[in-house]
Amino acid sequence: MALNKKGSRRITVDGIEYRWRIRRKPSYMQGLCWTPLTYAVEAASGSQPGTILIVTSGQAHPSNWVGIETEPIRPAHVAASIREARDQGWDPTRVGSPFQLDRSAGFIARPRDDAE
């Protein structure tokens, strides 16, 4: 399985090029802020697709339906997630099931101050 190239962004971490992508529309659970935002990462080079990294962030999807304020996922966050996943054994060149990295410890969706 490979990421859709349309809408993906490139990032180089420790000399290796990756592509990452956030789902444009939130899932139902993300839209209601019951679950946090997730994004996918894969190695950008190579003729064969490898294992995809699925990162569960600690924040709500920016297009949520209940008006929860969010911070953008920045390249530094993606790079840190890639390094953490590599340290935990993720090998983007090996074929297999998606590697899950959960960075959502303490996720609690908070309404905006003006949502009264």
Q: Is residue 109 part of a domain?
A: no
* Range of the structural domain that residue 70 is part of: 9-102
Q: Is residue 115 part of a domain?
A: no
Number of domains in the chain: 1
Identify the three-state secondary structure at position 47: coil
Q: Is residue 97 part of a domain?
A: yes
Q: Is residue 81 part of a domain?
A: yes
pLDDT in tens, the chain (116 residues): 577 778 889 999 999 999 999 989 999 999 998 999 999 999 987 667 789 999 999 899 999 999 888 889 999 999 999 999 999 999 998 988 999 999 988 777 665 555 44
Q: What φ, ψ does residue 16 adopt, rounded to 5°? A: -115, 135
- H or E element in which residue 80 lies: helix 75-87
